[in-house]
Amino acid sequence: MRAVRQHERNVGGNLTSLFRVLGTGLLLGGGLVSSDRSAAAAVTETDFLDDLPVVLSASRLSQPVSEAPAAVTVIDQDMIRASGFRDIPELLRLVPGFSVAYTGDNTWTAGYHGLADAYSRRFQVLVDGRSIYSPHYGTVYWTDLPLAIDDIERIEVVRGPNAAIHGANAFVAVINIITKTAAQVPGGYVSMQVGEQDMRGLTVRHGGGDASVRYRLTASAQQRDRFEKHIVEQGFDDGSYFESSKTYFVNGRMDWQLAPDSDLMVQFGLSQGDWAAGSRQPADVRSLLQPVEQDSRALYLQLAYHKVESSRREWRVQAYHTQNRFDADTVANIGGPVVVDQYLSQSRSNIELQVNEQWGPSLRAVWGGEVRRETVKSPQSYHSGETLSGELARAFGNLEWRAHERVLLQGGAMLEHHYFTGTDISPRVAANFTLAPNHVVRLGVSRAYRSPTFFEEEGNQVLVRDTGALADIYTVPSDGLAPERILSREIGYVGYWRPARLELDVRLFRDRIDDFIGQQKDDYVADPGSIVSANEFKYENLGTVWSRGGEIQLRWQPTSALDVSAHFARVFLEADTTRENYNEDIPQSAPRNSWGLLASYRLAGGWETSLGVWRSDAVIWLTEGDITRAYTRVDARLARRWKWWGGEVEAALVGQNLGEDYEEFRNTNLFSRRVYGSLGFAW
């Protein structure tokens, strides 16, 4: 299933057929309500096989990618399966302009057009409309996310600022993960993986219910060893360098059809992680703040009520609560033993209203608001046992006007009050011009803000002896940060050649980021007699960064057997900051050229084969990262499906990085050739 077709029919018909279309749009949008101008049309099989996929993440309105106000990449189930990836962040390798790396301490990072360090602070990441980035660092804890890759319906990636719709942190991109509804996965399902680097995986799912109430329940256990343990050139030839994790989770979803015009969705998830990382060398040799062993806990609860009032109006109220907790201690030797307490707890509570309205045959809108509370507690990161908290409030609106059969105009803005930076407004305007049927040019301008995280604003990372004496200081609080500001201008083209079944997306962009937030050395004077290192840092607004370049992505499906997706990105960065090392490193923080290719072919007898190739030029990962050399990665997958005992079985053999080892984030993170097998059974 790719998308619900965008019809061009007049509104009419009965409320039941209207709800069927709107409900299907809600299904595809995860947490985003769709308001389809053709809502009265009945859903048929052809609706799921239209020329261009329909997306909801760009404007909160259901629209083909050619009518979206920003560039959007859709990663569907076919692409997920063909890639052979079993870790969710790796799917971003399928998106032009993205760099993905496993950093260390069981965390991932990603960069879009550079500026990436150990924390993906400039993305808004959503799962069914639930924001999952950390209020502490701004990163996404992918490893303990209670979500199985088998439960993902699709991922929509908005390439470019989208703060007008999703607020601060939707600074350079939005990643919207949409999971399968309970109705999509009836019956049982088991999936197992076993492979090299101690890879183990087991996922069990059951779905059931009746016409009015359906549910699904998923439980999973995952184990990974990430890299080669023997790094002779870096002095770890004793096998002491390691990255391994064991993560267990359970999640559930209930979809309740309360009435023909209303429904309720309830979700929950729990996860527990037992992680090990770093080096078994003495603490005074390795980083003092790198935990050898770490326990993680995560949970969430989400409720969403959806109501269709009429053929012209529907609304949705959503509320959720999330918590993440990490606990790790290590002992350092700084003129005597120092216990480093790395406890971290953070939470987010949120309530949101969204209203979609059809104001006329050529005019529709979406508007709403959101209130959120975030908390963080980390004695070691803030030199305090107190819980830090903050509240933010948002109001947004977006208007779509078809001024002419060939001209679509869109505009919107987000008004936001943040607990650190006060009130800002993020506007966007876009115009889509249809040159010919299925060939559209898009012009867009947007402004977005990124508010600082708790750690950027108030981080005070210290080491204290048992006696209470100061042992070392790593960071001190900022003097008050302004939000980062980006002005983004783009020209896009989306085309579809029906005879060849070829989709093409081209984007040219030029961005300017002001008040870039980075670390600056601070002249901190410690108490006399303290043993304090010479490098104390605090976050400051350091200057301006410029980014320009272009992206191309295509999807070619000439037959039902062959599916090819490919992308290419070229990025140029410049920086003018108060720190010379940033001026040198930022232009190299994105690969100058990167590209990817994923091709799958279905053979007779249920056989399927796929090949993935990804190429990246050299990259400098900022702050905690290193220079990583250019690499080419080649993956291959061979699978077969067949019927057995009334169910369906799929067996697959996947080879990852069939060429030479390459580096991820640090030069000690060597990703080697590895193979795993997978077996799945659905009934």
Contact between 590 and 509 under an 8 Å Cβ cutoff? The reply is: no
Does position 35 have pLDDT exceeding 80, yes or no? no
Q: Which residue has the higher pLDDT, 672 or 120?
A: 672
Band the pLDDT of 218: cuts 50, 70, 90: very high
Q: Which 8-state DSSP code applies to residue 7?
A: -
Rg of the chain taking only CA atoms, in angstroms: 25
Which string of b and e fits 640-672 if b means at least 16 CB within 10 Å? ebeeeeeeebbebebbbbeeeebbbbbebbbbe
Note down the domain range covering 596: 15-682
Instruction: Give the Cβ contact number of residue 219 at 10 Å.
Output: 17
- Residue 47, pLDDT score: 37
Does position 148 have pLDDT exceeding 90, yes or no? yes
Q: Quick one: average pLDDT of 583-608?
A: 97
- Residue 197, pLDDT score: 86
The region that residue 149 occupies, defined by phi over 0 for left and psi between -120 and 50 for alpha, beta otherwise, is: alpha
> Model pTM?
0.90
Q: Quick one: average pLDDT of 438-445?
A: 98
- Residue 525, pLDDT score: 55
Convert the pLDDT of each residue in 566-592 to its tens digit.
999 999 999 999 999 999 999 999 999
Convert the pLDDT of each residue in 331-390 to its tens digit.
666 667 777 788 899 999 999 999 999 999 999 999 999 999 999 999 889 988 899 999
Structure tokens at 28: 């595809």
- Looking at the DSSP bridge assignments, the partners of residue 295 are 274, 327
- Residue 577, pLDDT score: 96
- Residue 226, pLDDT score: 76
Beta strands in 160-292 (DSSP E): 173-179, 187-195, 199-209, 213-225, 241-259, 262-279
- Residue 668, pLDDT score: 80
Does position 253 have pLDDT exceeding 50, yes or no? yes
- Residue 42, pLDDT score: 35
Band the pLDDT of 471: cuts 50, 70, 90: confident
Q: Which residue has the higher pLDDT, 250 or 334?
A: 250
Q: Where are the alpha helices (DSSP H) in 486-526?
A: none
- Residue 523, pLDDT score: 62
Q: Confirm whether 8 is domain-assigned.
A: no
Instruction: Give the Cβ contact number of residue 194 at 10 Å.
Output: 14
Band the pLDDT of 76: cuts 50, 70, 90: very high
Q: Confirm whether 10 is domain-assigned.
A: no
Does position 507 have pLDDT exceeding 50, yes or no? yes
Does position 19 have pLDDT exceeding 80, yes or no? no
Does position 444 have pLDDT exceeding 50, yes or no? yes
Does position 29 have pLDDT exceeding 70, yes or no? no
Q: Confirm whether 7 is domain-assigned.
A: no
One-character DSSP codes across 620-642: E--TT--EE--EEEEEEEEEEEE
How many percent of the chain have pLDDT more than 70? 85
Mean pLDDT of the chain: 87
Amino acid at 509: F
Q: Quick one: average pLDDT of 55-79?
A: 96
How many percent of the chain have pLDDT more than 90? 71
Band the pLDDT of 470: cuts 50, 70, 90: confident
- Residue 146, pLDDT score: 94
The region that residue 580 occupies, defined by phi over 0 for left and psi between -120 and 50 for alpha, beta otherwise, is: alpha
Contact between 412 and 399 under an 8 Å Cβ cutoff? The reply is: yes
Does position 265 have pLDDT exceeding 80, yes or no? yes
- Residue 293, pLDDT score: 78
Indicate the range of 38-52, 222-236, 286-300, 452-466 predicted with least confidence.
Answer: 38-52
Contact between 41 and 21 under an 8 Å Cβ cutoff? The reply is: yes
Contacts of 308 (CB under 8 A, 6+ apart): 15, 18, 19, 22, 261, 262, 314
- Residue 287, pLDDT score: 57
Contacts of 467 (CB under 8 A, 6+ apart): none
Residue 442: alpha-carbon gap to chain centroid: 24
Q: Confirm whether 537 is domain-assigned.
A: yes
- Residue 310, pLDDT score: 95
One-character DSSP codes across 268-325: EEEEEEEEEEEESS-TTTS-TT--SEEEEEEEEEEEEEEEEEETTEEEEEEEEEEEEE
Instruction: Give the Cβ contact number of residue 474 at 10 Å.
Output: 18
Beta strands in 522-625 (DSSP E): 537-556, 562-577, 593-602, 607-616, 619-620
End-to-end CA distance of the chain: 19
Q: Confirm whether 346 is domain-assigned.
A: yes
Sign of CA dihedral 519, 521, 527, 533: positive
Sign of CA dihedral 139, 619, 90, 195: negative
CB burial class (10 A; 0-12, 13-18, 19+) of residue 335?
A: exposed
Convert the pLDDT of each residue in 155-207 to its tens digit.
999 999 999 999 988 999 999 999 999 999 999 999 999 999 889 999 999 99
Does position 278 have pLDDT exceeding 90, yes or no? no
- Residue 333, pLDDT score: 67
The domain total for the chain is 1
Band the pLDDT of 238: cuts 50, 70, 90: low
* CA separation for the pair 558, 537 (Å, rounded): 55
Sign of CA dihedral 52, 56, 61, 62: positive
CATH number at residue 116: 2.40.170.20
Indicate the range of 53-62, 86-95, 331-340, 505-514 predicted with least confidence.
Answer: 331-340
- Residue 447, pLDDT score: 97
One-character DSSP codes across 468-483: S-EEEE-B---S-PPP
Band the pLDDT of 10: cuts 50, 70, 90: very low
